[in-house]
Chain A
Amino acid sequence: MEHAKATSVATTCYHCGEDLPVHVYETDNKLFCCAGCKSVYEILASNNMCNYYAYNQAPGRLSEKAAGRSSEKESGLRYLDEPAIAARLIDYQDKENTIVTFYIPAIHCSSCIWLLEHLYRIHPAIYNSRIHFIKKEVTLSFKQAEVSLREVVHILSSIGYEPLISAQDVVKENAKAIDKKLILKIAIAGFCMGNVMLFSFPEYFGITDLESRFRALFGWLNLALCLPVTFYCGRDYFVSAYNSLKQRRVNLDTPLALIIAVLFIRTALATVLNSGPGFADTLTGLVFLLLMGKWVKQRTYHHISFDRDYRSYFPIAVTTLEEGKEKPVEINALKVGDRLWIRNGELIPADSILMKGEGWVDMSFVTGETDPQQKVLGEIIYAGGRQEGAAIEVEVVKPVSQSYLTALWNRDYHRENAGQNFNDTIAKYFSVAVFVVSLAAFGYWMAQGDSGKAWAAFTAVIIVACPCVLALSTPFTLSALLSVFDKKGFYVKNTDAVEQLAQCDSLVFDKTGTLTSTAKASIAFSGTLNDTERKMLASLLQHSAHPLSRHILKSMRYDGFYPLSDFKEVTGAGIQARILEHTLYVGSKRILPEGLNLPDTQGVHVVIDKTYKGTFQVQQEWREALPELMQTLQASFTLSVLSGDHAKDEKTLKAIFPAGTEIRFQQSPGQKLDAIVEKQQKGRRVMMLGDGLNDAGALKQSDFGVAITDNINNFTPGCDAILKGDSMALLPRFHQMSKDGLKIIKMSFAIATAYNLIGVFYAVQGTLYPLVAAVLMPVSTITIISFTSIATRYFAKKNKLI
């Protein structure tokens, strides 16, 4: 018999499984596709860890890309030596040991688990490591005297398992999600409920005289089991009700706290006085089901809001400098070590070190303090600051934390409108109404002489009247809406803003940067500039973030920049600075010095000292499909345009907008603000679309302010949402979706009201067993959650947003 000897020739990399290129790397009779894979293999082989390859075919599949970069990354990890930053990452540290948890996206198979849990073989000071496979996290314990945090991260990178440190907040937040205390309470409540039911069986089935002495035994046991339930498991409700009553208010937990107390007292009295079976089964069942409902709420809400805070992102781009060339990069793609060019008014998105320029940083977004802080070269500037004055070059030292920026943004938020939202108004009256109805029922039945029914009615009414819809449907629906919007480039600040959006009936547009795209423009220059003057102009323009400055700079030829001093940018007017002993002015007539003889042309004027040099005519490209968009929007909004520009585009605007639209030109930022106030005083709800940098005041004043961004860094904390320029055409759909969201909330209110009315109807008659009422509560909770999820998906599909 001939054995066909199959000689397999390796055609794929032993480490990562990719096809081998023409030039292969070889070691130990194994072939690799690149130096990265080979180096990881060599590290593992030298530490006797080739078992890594035993469990899976080509286990380095996901991680080889990271391994290749590891050699460059060594210096990029400098920031981990900084104690303040390291402190934010580690979980625990004492004199000898440090425990840290990292999120490693490359974890995907059992080999990864094996390798990462045997890290002690690579460096014995990492004495313990534990993987959480689903969360892709590893928790390491190491002796900080023998290996530093930075070395640990470097080791992980070199074997292809680089931790994603910008997701560190994800790790921390995840740890908070699992509320062990609640689970403990549920376990104890469930235990007591089960045993109480067991001991209540004889009562249900009827005790004969022969067994009547056991009634006392079971009664006391039931009471004993009620104690931990009332005082430990039910504690939160008592605390919440007490705090609310201290403020002379009734909140949603007050009736629940009352009923738990009443049931407990009745059970205690019944047991001590031996006058009846007591309500132990209802009490324990109720507390158990309430806690279960709380748990379901927590899990679902955490899932939704987690998605929102940590996976979505600010659609802002900053200008990075790559070998001196400017390139806009979205902030979630920034890496440590990137050089950023931050202009006047722009946001610094991550902790960075000042490399060039004069740093005057306004930290009002972070600390509320408006006095700019001066920063020296080499000093660290924290994320959230805004540069004022000439532009600076900074180097990113810590990855961007979008959750941090979102948190800052929301911290700034106060309710400017006096109106509370729907939820709060209902909550006030609901509990009071519940008390009134239950006391009325109680009084009625007592008057009829049937005290048993009276108590049954009282407890059943309070239990069955479920306020869960108030606590559930609004946040769930609005959070689901937020995640739908985020995926389409419409980043809304928080759920309350969505309600504002739905109520808007007036829409105000800015022109430059909003209706016109900042991407392309055609530029014409009337005048003369020699090479030096052109270089001076470029040097000035590079410090300004205004769309016109950017366009002009892009169109010019220049070689290098001059240093400048006394940079000043006046919003809506222009920029000026001192360069090479001259004062250079660029902008509209408002910024130019007095007494000049200027031609009548409109545009961006250039003046050096007292000599007029020329004017740039900038014709920005209009965005696509504007007339159609306005046509659709007109159905739900009154449109108007407030432009800081002069009236040269009046004809085009009149063609885009429907007849009779208010169009105003030459509006200063103050005038724009006043125009919005004027509309609001007429009772309109104003939504404004504008440029984050120049319209900051007007955006804040409007009921819903949207900053349009096209790969530029123009964030202002006063706005309620950021909209990507490409997504502007979806605006009518976003508005419709927010209105549908409110519809969903109202529908779920209707469902809940129906349920409550029917429930209360049976409860006041005393025919509803309190225990049955207790079961109906979680049923209604689940109904509402399912309804809002399904309805939101339905409407999102209908509005073509999914």
Chain B
Amino acid sequence: MNILYFLVGCSLLMALVFLGAFIWSLKSGQHDDMHTPGIRILLDDEKPEKSDLDHF
């Protein structure tokens, strides 16, 4: 059962990594706007203009 020491340590470490990720996302403003990214994803990227050299 000594493995428990290691396992508990690992799980805590993983949890801390996720907490860190959340704090990072909060600080960089990901949660400020919950609505607009949903619309933005539906807008098309511009197709690159076909130049005369393309022969497709």
- A residues with a Cβ closer than 8 A to B are 51, 54-55, 110, 113-114, 117, 131-134, 178, 180, 183-184, 187-188, 191, 195, 199, 210-211, 214, 217, 221
Measured between beta carbons, the chain B residues less than 8 angstroms from A188 are 19
Cβ–Cβ contact B27 & A180, under 8 A? yes
Measured between beta carbons, the chain A residues less than 8 angstroms from B53 are none
Known: A217-B5, A217-B8, A221-B8. A187 touches B26 (CB 8 A): yes
| Nearest 5 interchain pairs by C-beta | A133-B36, A134-B35, A132-B33, A110-B39, A133-B35
Cβ–Cβ contact B43 & A55, under 8 A? yes
In the bound assembly, the distance between CA atoms of A791 and B31 in angstroms comes to 34
Measured between beta carbons, the chain A residues less than 8 angstroms from B5 are 217
Which of B4, B19, B33 touches A133 (beta carbons < 8 Å)? Answer: B33
Cβ–Cβ contact A214 & B4, under 8 A? yes
Known: A211-B1, A214-B4. A51 touches B39 (CB 8 A): no
Interface residue B12 (Cβ < 8 Å from any Cβ of A): yes
Measured between beta carbons, the chain A residues less than 8 angstroms from B43 are 55, 110, 113-114
Cβ–Cβ contact A184 & B23, under 8 A? yes
- B residues with a Cβ closer than 8 A to A are 1, 4-5, 8, 12, 15, 19, 22-23, 26-27, 31-36, 39-40, 42-44, 46
Measured between beta carbons, the chain B residues less than 8 angstroms from A191 are 15, 19
Measured between beta carbons, the chain A residues less than 8 angstroms from B46 are 51
In the bound assembly, the distance between CA atoms of A54 and B45 in angstroms comes to 13
Measured between beta carbons, the chain A residues less than 8 angstroms from B35 are 132-134
Chief secondary structure at chain A's binding surface: helix
In the bound assembly, the distance between CA atoms of A764 and B42 in angstroms comes to 60
**Closest beta carbon of chain A to B30's beta carbon, Å:** 11
Measured between beta carbons, the chain B residues less than 8 angstroms from A54 are 44
Cβ–Cβ contact A132 & B36, under 8 A? yes
In the bound assembly, the distance between CA atoms of A195 and B5 in angstroms comes to 15
Measured between beta carbons, the chain B residues less than 8 angstroms from A183 are 26, 31
Which of B1, B22, B27, B36 touches A134 (beta carbons < 8 Å)? Answer: B36
In the bound assembly, the distance between CA atoms of A184 and B12 in angstroms comes to 19
Cβ–Cβ contact B33 & A187, under 8 A? no
Measured between beta carbons, the chain A residues less than 8 angstroms from B1 are 210-211
Measured between beta carbons, the chain B residues less than 8 angstroms from A131 are 36
Cβ–Cβ contact A117 & B40, under 8 A? yes
Provide 9 A-B residue pairs closer than 8 Å at the C-beta atoms, listed in order of the A residue: A51-B44, A55-B42, A113-B39, A113-B43, A132-B33, A132-B36, A134-B34, A217-B4, A217-B5
In the bound assembly, the distance between CA atoms of A111 and B47 in angstroms comes to 18
Known: A110-B39, A113-B40. A187 touches B32 (CB 8 A): no
Cβ–Cβ contact A195 & B15, under 8 A? yes
B4 nearest CB neighbor, chain A only:
A214
Measured between beta carbons, the chain B residues less than 8 angstroms from A214 are 4
**Closest beta carbon of chain A to B40's beta carbon, Å:** 6
A133 nearest CB neighbor, chain B only:
B36
Interface centre among B26, B31, B39, B42 (most CB of A within 10 A): B39
In the bound assembly, the distance between CA atoms of A191 and B26 in angstroms comes to 15
In the bound assembly, the distance between CA atoms of A191 and B14 in angstroms comes to 12
In the bound assembly, the distance between CA atoms of A491 and B33 in angstroms comes to 33
New A-B pairs, 13, CB < 8 Å, besides A132-B32, A180-B27: A51-B44, A54-B44, A131-B36, A134-B34, A180-B26, A187-B19, A187-B23, A191-B15, A195-B12, A199-B8, A217-B4, A217-B8, A221-B12
B38 nearest CB neighbor, chain A only:
A133
**Closest beta carbon of chain B to A209's beta carbon, Å:** 13
Measured between beta carbons, the chain B residues less than 8 angstroms from A187 are 19, 22-23, 26
**Closest beta carbon of chain B to A755's beta carbon, Å:** 34
Interface centre among B33, B34, B46 (most CB of A within 10 A): B33
Known: A134-B35, A180-B26, A187-B26. A110 touches B4 (CB 8 A): no
In the bound assembly, the distance between CA atoms of A187 and B26 in angstroms comes to 10
In the bound assembly, the distance between CA atoms of A183 and B22 in angstroms comes to 11
Cβ–Cβ contact A134 & B33, under 8 A? yes
A183 nearest CB neighbor, chain B only:
B26
In the bound assembly, the distance between CA atoms of A195 and B27 in angstroms comes to 23
In the bound assembly, the distance between CA atoms of A180 and B30 in angstroms comes to 12
**Closest beta carbon of chain A to B43's beta carbon, Å:** 5
A211 nearest CB neighbor, chain B only:
B1
In the bound assembly, the distance between CA atoms of A133 and B8 in angstroms comes to 44
In the bound assembly, the distance between CA atoms of A472 and B41 in angstroms comes to 41
Measured between beta carbons, the chain B residues less than 8 angstroms from A221 are 8, 12
B15 nearest CB neighbor, chain A only:
A195
In the bound assembly, the distance between CA atoms of A134 and B31 in angstroms comes to 13
Measured between beta carbons, the chain A residues less than 8 angstroms from B23 are 184, 187
**Closest beta carbon of chain B to A747's beta carbon, Å:** 36
Measured between beta carbons, the chain A residues less than 8 angstroms from B32 are 132, 178
Measured between beta carbons, the chain B residues less than 8 angstroms from A184 are 23, 26
**Closest beta carbon of chain A to B15's beta carbon, Å:** 6
**Closest beta carbon of chain B to A42's beta carbon, Å:** 20
**Closest beta carbon of chain B to A58's beta carbon, Å:** 18
**Closest beta carbon of chain B to A120's beta carbon, Å:** 12
Measured between beta carbons, the chain A residues less than 8 angstroms from B8 are 199, 217, 221
Measured between beta carbons, the chain A residues less than 8 angstroms from B33 are 132-134
In the bound assembly, the distance between CA atoms of A131 and B32 in angstroms comes to 11
In the bound assembly, the distance between CA atoms of A199 and B15 in angstroms comes to 13
**Closest beta carbon of chain B to A123's beta carbon, Å:** 18
Interface centre among B4, B32, B36 (most CB of A within 10 A): B36
B29 nearest CB neighbor, chain A only:
A180
In the bound assembly, the distance between CA atoms of A54 and B5 in angstroms comes to 60
Measured between beta carbons, the chain B residues less than 8 angstroms from A114 are 43
A218 nearest CB neighbor, chain B only:
B8
In the bound assembly, the distance between CA atoms of A55 and B46 in angstroms comes to 13
